Structure 1
Amino acid sequence: MRRALLISLCLIVIACEKDKTVDIEKVKDTYSPGVSVDMEAVHRGDLYEYIETTAICMASEKGIIESRVSGNVLEIRARDGQEFEKGDTLFILDAESFRNEWAMIQSKFVKAVSDLILELESENQAETAAVWNSYLKTIDRQNFSIKALPDNDNVKLTVMMARLDILTLYQQLKTYEKQIEYCVIRAPFSGIISDMDIYVGALVQVGQPLCKMTNLSTMNLSVNILENELHHIKVGSEIQILFDGQQKTHVSYILPTIDVERHTGTVLAHIENQTKILKDGQHVRVKLVKNIYGNRIYIPRSAMLSRNDRDLVFIVKDGIAKWQYVKTGFGNSEFIEIISGLSEGDTVITGGHYSLGHNVKVKQRAN
């Protein structure tokens, strides 16, 4: 067996000696899998120049929920961190004293209107008396509600009503009606509760803060920009928010004043925030479109290399990486314009090329 192996090796050596044209490097390259790299096609399109800065997020709606009447707290339905819809009940105050006052004044009001009806009937104004009699029946004693007084353009009737204090009593009823309504404190808009400062049984006063409420569904962005760059920004200019992915919006307003100490102007924009990930007062990085360079050939900056102070890239032809010197133009943080050296549709290597050489076989890196 050893003798057969020696004979085979001798035959291989003899064959190689006879065929001097065999290229060992080509043989090796034929079976090489290739260096794994990232590749990307050369782009043609618009290149954007940006102003990068910081914006402050502000809730579209926020406020302090205050009591509009004085009273003891009977029920608390709100909790810190809970979200409520506009009109939902947050707190209930004891309205018993207001109901008692309303009922007492309502009795005086009914007596005054009844006296008015008698006087109208005695003066043969049966039609007007019937209107007021029907009005009395609309008073909702159960819900402490009273409708607007009947229309009146009669001077004599006005004098009669004033003498019986009907207008005064009516205004008092409407006042207590509002106070009863204010004992149920409702959400003025949809939002999230925070900074609760109340407990059941507590006596609250008129104007006393009970909690805060913040609507995060839509945010306002306040962006400060250096005054020497502000002229590049227009209403409608695109803004990219660099937080939790990349969201886009547009400038809504440009404020007319400059901060004389900071030398900055302010632009405002709106952004949807249905996930509630942005918070009131939060700072986020943003990019505002300053200029647009149209119809340019460009590549990712990650494709650029330098040799002997010259810009070059690796292009891929038939699976082989080749050096290609290029002339560059405008660039931003992501892309750079190619003035010459590349054409649309070429493929450049964007990753894994720092130790790569000319004429090396490459393959697309697996994701």
Structure 2
Amino acid sequence: MKSKYIYLILSPLVIIIAVFAVSALPEKTAENPIEDKSILAVEVDYAKLKTLQNTIEVTGKLRAKDRYEIYAEVEGRLLPSAKKFREGNYYKKGQILLQIDQQERYMTLLADKSNFMTSLTAILPDLKQDFTESYPAWNQYLKNLDINKSLQPLPEPKTEKEKYFIAGNGIYSSYYTIKSSEEKLSKYTIYAPFSGVISKSDIEAGTAVRAGQELGEMVNLSSYELEVTAPLKDIEHFKIGNKVRLFSSELENEWTGTVIRIGNTLDANSQSVKVYIQTSGKTLKEGMFLTAQVNSEAYKEAVQIPRKLIFDGNKIYVIKNNKLALQEIEVMETFKSDAIVKGVPTDAAVLMTNIKNPYEGMKVQVLN
């Protein structure tokens, strides 16, 4: 009974002491507030305005500028030559490439010239009697005639009557027949039209050739032509006479080319135009691929940024007071994955992180 009274007296006392103890504890301060996990960490690039220009690169295949396909214009047996007509052999301009046996044609030409001399001799007495003024010229022409040389032009008749007399005796007909044979005889020997190498050979010495048959091909290695395909949006940067930098992915060399022609037709599928660039160099080979590099117009006070960060065609985001702010820009040129733009303030913190669904005023944290 006594212990029950003691318990009733001590219980309120313990509660009172506990209340005072809790109230005496110091209040907790929020020295380190919990970070808002919704704030994104982003990267920025501080704009440095400078003069920029786009570098346009197009690739094409190199071809010799001068190419000569060799065909036979006469029939006959191909004669052996001092230098065999083989791929890779070099010939100087004017050097004999091929010779076709012309002996039979040459003998026929000599016979025609002999008959022509006979015809001239036959009309000289009549010329002396009826055309006294013209006789000395025709007589001298006959004296100078050499059947082993090319015929010289006939004397000019002084009157219509004389012209009809000469024509009536078949002199003009015989003359032009011989000149035609002389021209045809010259086709039995084929000369190099320029200094170059044989790129294709389709004939062997001793074989018979026919008129119209292809014998081979010759190319000039001193000058090349590069055919490239430029996108329509970049064609304005290719102008006739402009210098172009050329390089190869296989070699360390560089060359300089000149734009010589620009195509007038547009490829409907690729929306591109063909451009032709002339170049030369000892290490160049026909058939190799070269890349042509040309610079676009230079833009002052511009910056280069990724195209994916441009919104609505003319806006980007900059960071102001750790918040996104829209900045209007002017896109000068786009290429590959970047763009050259103007209108960005100097040292502006341009957003470089691609954010999903960004909006103006959005809080961000700039990464150091």
TM-score by length of 1: 0.64
For 1:111, the equivalent position in structure 2 comes to: 118
Q: Which AA in structure 1 matches 2:276?
A: L
The alpha-carbon distance between structure 1 residues 251 and 200, as it changes in their structure 2 partners (threshold 3 A), is closer
- 1:160-199 maps to which residues of 2 (within 5 A)? 160-199=165-204
- 1:76-155 maps to which residues of 2 (within 5 A)? 76=81, 77=83, 78-123=85-130, 125-143=131-149, 145-155=150-160
Cα offsets for 1:144-180 (capped at 9, x unmatched): x111111224211121112211111111111221222
Contact 1:217–1:276 under 8 Å retained in 2: no
Q: Which AA in structure 2 matches 1:246?
A: E
- Structure 1 segments unaligned to the other structure (5+ residues): 1-44, 298-329, 341-367
- 1:186-265 maps to which residues of 2 (within 5 A)? 186-243=191-248, 244=251, 245-265=253-273
Cα offsets for 1:326-358 (capped at 9, x unmatched): xxxx9x99xxx9x87xxxxxxxxxxxxxxxxxx
**TM superposition outliers: structure 1 runs of 4+ over 4 Å:** 45-48, 293-297
Contact 1:105–1:173 under 8 Å retained in 2: yes
For 2:276, the equivalent position in structure 1 comes to: 268
* Count of residue correspondences: 262
For 2:313, the equivalent position in structure 1 comes to: none
> Which of 284, 305, 310 is the equivalent residue of 2:290?
284
Q: CA RMSD in A?
A: 3.2
For 1:159, the equivalent position in structure 2 comes to: 164
Cα offsets for 1:29-65 (capped at 9, x unmatched): xxxxxxxxxxxxxxxx975421112122221110211
Cα offsets for 1:96-136 (capped at 9, x unmatched): 1111111111111111111221111122x333111011111
For 1:4, the equivalent position in structure 2 comes to: none
The alpha-carbon distance between structure 1 residues 238 and 104, as it changes in their structure 2 partners (threshold 3 A), is closer
The alpha-carbon distance between structure 1 residues 152 and 276, as it changes in their structure 2 partners (threshold 3 A), is farther
Contact 1:116–1:160 under 8 Å retained in 2: no
Q: Which AA in structure 1 matches 2:128?
A: E
In proportion to residue count, which structure has more strand? 1
The alpha-carbon distance between structure 1 residues 182 and 85, as it changes in their structure 2 partners (threshold 3 A), is same
The alpha-carbon distance between structure 1 residues 95 and 46, as it changes in their structure 2 partners (threshold 3 A), is farther
- Structure 2 segments unaligned to the other structure (5+ residues): 1-49, 304-332, 341-345, 348-368
Name the CA distance, whole Å, in 1 between partners of 2:216 and 2:238: 39
Correspondence 1:49 to 2:50 = no
Name the CA distance, whole Å, in 1 between partners of 2:241 and 2:102: 51
Larger radius of gyration between Structure 1 and Structure 2? 2
Contact 1:138–1:147 under 8 Å retained in 2: no
Contact 1:236–1:250 under 8 Å retained in 2: yes
Cα offsets for 1:177-236 (capped at 9, x unmatched): 122221111112222113212222211111211111011211112221111222343334
Cα offsets for 1:239-297 (capped at 9, x unmatched): 21113411122323322221001211122221123x15231x43212212123356999
The alpha-carbon distance between structure 1 residues 48 and 152, as it changes in their structure 2 partners (threshold 3 A), is farther
Contact 1:220–1:269 under 8 Å retained in 2: yes
The alpha-carbon distance between structure 1 residues 231 and 194, as it changes in their structure 2 partners (threshold 3 A), is closer
The alpha-carbon distance between structure 1 residues 171 and 276, as it changes in their structure 2 partners (threshold 3 A), is farther
Q: Which AA in structure 1 matches 2:103?
A: E
